[in-house]
Structure 1
């Protein structure tokens, strides 16, 4: 009887391993579709808190009209909050912009680092064509700086 129970346990173990392998390494279409739908396209730029307004002046060149000063100063105040956890994305808000004569909205998030001053990584998400144009402007800006 003991040998029979060991045999059943062995068969169940092998079956479980096969099922686990199939679920882990099986068709990833559902998983890929989940990630593609839930992760918005984003552009990012690195800046110091002291250069916040200047960074937005560069980014404003992408749009038909500059980003409003009130939006920039509000986001700067939020990014300067000393209670923000480091290395965690924090929402700074949304900004309304006009891109190619079309009004649209960008969502802005920031990761904060405070080693030698306050350093930020800003993330911008929104309509795909707007984010791609913004990313092109950021890359051109990095080229201008020689980065």
Structure 2
């Protein structure tokens, strides 16, 4: 009888240990599953790239980005972007929708969304974000990285 009680106690302890392990790792598995589900939902988020510029360098920055497109970004669009980010009423550190640029890329028309974050610590500094079709954003990103390499950044 002692052996049977000892065996039952052993089974009870083992079952408790298994339950504790399942509880701990089961929670982690649920968290991982939720993260994967959230990631799958985020696949709808458009690809983005960014570049920073001083306010005075915006025309040159957009001329650099124009190398990616079949036709350069219009001066009128660049001037509107410059005017918008130079607006002193824009709060620092907040991302603003600045423009939607219709551009020609590899023979087809597409739209690039331009958002900007403005900082005014020592002059006006702007961080531009570009979203749109994946191939266009990747081409912009490649051009931006090449530019940063040229600068040694």
| Alignment match of 1:27 (pick from 25, 33, 39) | 33
Separation in structure 2 between the aligned mates of residue 31 and residue 107 of structure 1, nearest angstrom? 24
Separation in structure 1 between the aligned mates of residue 125 and residue 101 of structure 2, nearest angstrom? 21
Separation in structure 2 between the aligned mates of residue 137 and residue 49 of structure 1, nearest angstrom? 20
Q: Which residue of 2 aligns with 1:137?
A: 143
| Alignment match of 2:73 (pick from 53, 63, 67) | 67
Q: Go from structure 1 to structure 2 and tell me whether the alpha carbon gap of 1:46 and 1:26 turns closer, same or farther (over 3 Å shift).
A: closer
Using the TM superposition, give the Cα deviation of residue 53 of structure 1 relative to its aligned residue in structure 2, in angstroms.
0.4
Using the TM superposition, give the Cα deviation of residue 36 of structure 1 relative to its aligned residue in structure 2, in angstroms.
2.0
Q: Which residue of 2 aligns with 1:56?
A: 62
TM-score normalised to structure 2 length: 0.78
Separation in structure 2 between the aligned mates of residue 145 and residue 26 of structure 1, nearest angstrom? 41
Using the TM superposition, give the Cα deviation of residue 26 of structure 1 relative to its aligned residue in structure 2, in angstroms.
5.2
Task: Report Cα offsets for 1:30-56 as digits up to 9, x if no partner.
Answer: 21122222x210010010011000100
SS of residue matched to 2:117: strand
Separation in structure 2 between the aligned mates of residue 109 and residue 43 of structure 1, nearest angstrom? 11
Q: Which residue of 1 aligns with 2:16?
A: none
Point out the more displaced range, 28-37 or 53-62: 28-37
Q: Which residue of 2 aligns with 1:115?
A: 121
Unaligned ranges ≥5, structure 2: 1-22
Using the TM superposition, give the Cα deviation of residue 144 of structure 1 relative to its aligned residue in structure 2, in angstroms.
1.0
Q: Which residue of 1 aligns with 2:52?
A: 46
TM-score normalised to structure 1 length: 0.81
Separation in structure 1 between the aligned mates of residue 151 and residue 30 of structure 2, nearest angstrom? 45
The alignment yields a C-alpha RMSD, in angstroms, of: 1.7
Q: Go from structure 1 to structure 2 and tell me whether the alpha carbon gap of 1:24 and 1:111 turns closer, same or farther (over 3 Å shift).
A: farther
